[in-house]
Amino acid sequence: MAQQKSTLKERANVAFQDDFLRKAVRFTADRLRGRKADSTGALGDWEEWRERGRAIRSHVIENLDYYLDQFIQNAEKRGIHVHFAKNTEDAIAISLKIAKDKNTKLIAKSKSMVSEEVHLNHYFEEQGIECLETDLGEWIVQLAHETPSHIIIPAIHKNRYQVQELFEKESGETLSSDTKVLAGYARRKLRQRFAEAEIGMTGCNFALAESGSVVLFSNEGNARMVTTLPKTHIVMMGMERIIPSWEDLEVMANLLPRSATGQKITVYMTALSGPRRAGEVDGPEDVHIIILDNGRSAILGDDEFQEVLNCIRCGACLNVCPVYRQVGGHTYGGTYSGPIGAVITPLLMEDKKQWGELAYASSLCGACHEACPVKIPLHDMLVHLRRRYVEAGFTPLSERMAYKGYAAGFKSVGAYKLAGKSARWVQLTVMGDEKEESALAKNTPMHGWTKYRTLPEPNKKAFRDRWADLAAEPPQAPRGPKPKKETE
């Protein structure tokens, strides 16, 4: 599939021209934040739960080869075919082979960001195989020929009127914009298709090493249809989805839904442990698991970034991110959006220059780290990514010169004083005064600032130049009630 060639700024500009999108993203993010706060409060010491989650995930990632091995052995014992895909090409080739062996014309899909990552639908459609997204949000996005703009709420950027329009176009029927009517239509339409699909394909929230089982959290029931009705089930999962045991699942089952949607638990939590056995009434006859590397193993052993593999894909960092809030998910250009996308996309993609600029899509406010249920220090990782971007020589010469100038001007006080004086002069003569942006300023990089804000008034006398007088002032007695120390 064609690589995203636009820049971060260009994509942000598209978002800025879409008021509907911006309103919808803010509205939903606010609701999720509110619900998360309520549901985590009910769990007692949320910080302790986060720490447990972090510990489990870090332990697994540190010993990933061991747990992967255990998972594969146990899954195979249960009659599951396990495949390992080094990259996108492998993942597509393996799934296409299974599809062709089964003579498939239709695959019903549910919950798989990883299949988005390898652009599976696109490659299958080229082969004349239809991949039907059955999660409501995913289906809406598919009908609109778009990509998901949120990790767990793919159609966060659409409102019900836009959905009504898409559904009417798809069905040729007249529908109302009532969400019940729209959901009802989706239900009717998708139900017919679950039964027609030869293959059901899902992602995987957690893979349990001790039993070789795959666990899915879902709300709509479609994942159950996809995993029980078609004769073949393919699971595509990132290699880091493993947790050791059922006991660990309890921690994750507390952390994930609360962080994602503010639910105490999702409507369905499905554990799948191999194909249908003799005497069982439903379930697939054949189960394949494709474990995808696609750049993940390169992050293993990298002190600065390994913890990013702890991510449980809840989207909590998106919901609190002030940048995501303003521009939505498509601005990030890749499969994963928000702060986690800004970190993981540059790590996973080969073109570090093109994707590395995502690390700048943050004011480094740290809200993502605070929200993360497994405490990934995303804000620190963004700084590390920027450092690598600079070290790789990807930043423009003008910027490199500017920071060289900064270092020269600030590494000793002599140069600093001179820099301070010339900065004042530049501001007064070039940038214009604090009220008006000068015509000249509009053509400098400072325009990014002055377009939205005035500049502070340059002071005639810096603090350091006032120090001598200040030091000579007699001390004043404290006013009001005396400080605690003296009254004790």
Partner 1 sequence: MRVTLFITCLVDQFFPNVGVSMVRLLRRYGCEVSFPQSQTCCGQPAFNSGYVREAREVALNQLNAFEGAEYVVSPSGSCSGMVHHYYHELFADDPRLAARADALAAKTYEFSQFLVNVLGVTDVGAVCPHTVTYHPACHGSRILGIKNEPMALLQHVEGITLLPLPKAEDCCGFGGAFSVKLGDISGAMVNEKVDHITETDADFLVSGDMGCLMNMGGQMKKRGLKTEPLHLAEFLYRFSS
385 to 444, contacts with partner 1 by CB under 8 A? 385-391, 395, 399-400, 403-404, 406-407, 410-413, 416, 420, 423-424, 434-435
Contact 79, 285 (CB under 8 A): no
Figure out which of the listed residues 180, 278, 280, 463 binds partner 1, where binding follows CB under 8 A: 463
> Whose Cβ is closer to partner 1: residue 161's or residue 410's?
410
Q: Does 472 bind partner 1 (CB under 8 A)?
A: no
Pairing of strands 213-218, 206-208: antiparallel
Helical H segments across 119-202, by residue range: 120-126, 136-143, 160-171, 179-196
Binders of partner 1 in range 295-324 (CB under 8 A): 322-323
Stretch that binds partner 1, among 104-112, 197-205, 229-237, 359-367 (CB under 8 A): 359-367
Give the sign of the dihedral formed by CA 335, CA 349, CA 114, CA 361: negative
Q: Does 362 bind partner 1 (CB under 8 A)?
A: yes
Radius of gyration for the alpha carbons in the chain, expressed in angstroms and rounded: 27
> Whose Cβ is closer to partner 1: residue 443's or residue 463's?
463
Nearest approach in angstroms of CB 400 to partner 1 is 8
Nearest approach in angstroms of CB 333 to partner 1 is 14
> Whose Cβ is closer to partner 1: residue 2's or residue 471's?
471
Nearest approach in angstroms of CB 363 to partner 1 is 3
Stretch that binds partner 1, among 148-156, 269-277, 307-315, 450-458 (CB under 8 A): 450-458
Smallest Cα–Cα separation from 448: which of 139, 147, 12, 22? Answer: 12
Q: Does 14 bind partner 1 (CB under 8 A)?
A: no
Nearest approach in angstroms of CB 21 to partner 1 is 13
Contact 32, 371 (CB under 8 A): no
Figure out which of the listed residues 4, 8, 21, 257 binds partner 1, where binding follows CB under 8 A: 8
Helix (H) or strand (E) holding 208: strand 206-208
Figure out which of the listed residues 44, 279, 393, 481 binds partner 1, where binding follows CB under 8 A: 481
Nearest approach in angstroms of CB 436 to partner 1 is 10
Contact 253, 230 (CB under 8 A): no
- Other C-beta atoms closer than 10 Å to the C-beta of 405 total 12
Q: Does 221 bind partner 1 (CB under 8 A)?
A: no
Q: CA-CA distance, 450 to 362, in Å (whole number)?
A: 19
Nearest approach in angstroms of CB 288 to partner 1 is 42
Stretch that binds partner 1, among 69-77, 193-201, 224-232, 449-457 (CB under 8 A): 449-457
Binders of partner 1 in range 16-45 (CB under 8 A): 16
Q: CA-CA distance, 454 to 475, in Å (whole number)?
A: 36
Q: CA-CA distance, 143 to 381, in Å (whole number)?
A: 35
Q: CA-CA distance, 324 to 347, in Å (whole number)?
A: 19
Q: What are the tokens at 305? A: 């970034």
Nearest approach in angstroms of CB 328 to partner 1 is 11
Stretch that binds partner 1, among 52-60, 151-159, 340-348, 357-365 (CB under 8 A): 357-365
Q: Is 127 exposed, middle or buried (0-12, 13-18, 19+ CB in 10 A)?
A: exposed
Binders of partner 1 in range 189-208 (CB under 8 A): none
Figure out which of the listed residues 44, 279, 393, 478 binds partner 1, where binding follows CB under 8 A: 478
DSSP 8-state class, residue 82? E
Q: What angle do CA 472, 473, 475 make, to 5 degrees?
A: 125
> Whose Cβ is closer to partner 1: residue 82's or residue 361's?
361
Q: Does 288 bind partner 1 (CB under 8 A)?
A: no
Q: Does 184 bind partner 1 (CB under 8 A)?
A: no
Helical H segments across 234-280, by residue range: 246-261
Q: What are the tokens at 191? A: 């139900």
Residue with tokens 């799948």: 272
**How many residues lie near partner 1 (CB under 8 A)?**
78
Q: How many residues does the chain have?
A: 488
Nearest approach in angstroms of CB 48 to partner 1 is 17
Q: Does 484 bind partner 1 (CB under 8 A)?
A: yes
Figure out which of the listed residues 361, 374, 376, 381 binds partner 1, where binding follows CB under 8 A: 361
Q: What are the tokens at 251? A: 């921690």
Q: CA-CA distance, 390 to 394, in Å (whole number)?
A: 6
Helices (H) and strands (E) in the chain, counts: 24, 10
> Whose Cβ is closer to partner 1: residue 192's or residue 476's?
476
Q: Does 330 bind partner 1 (CB under 8 A)?
A: no
Nearest approach in angstroms of CB 144 to partner 1 is 24
Figure out which of the listed residues 145, 280, 456, 472 binds partner 1, where binding follows CB under 8 A: 456
Figure out which of the listed residues 43, 383, 430, 440 binds partner 1, where binding follows CB under 8 A: 383
Strand order in the sheet with 268-272: 242-243, 206-208, 213-218, 268-272
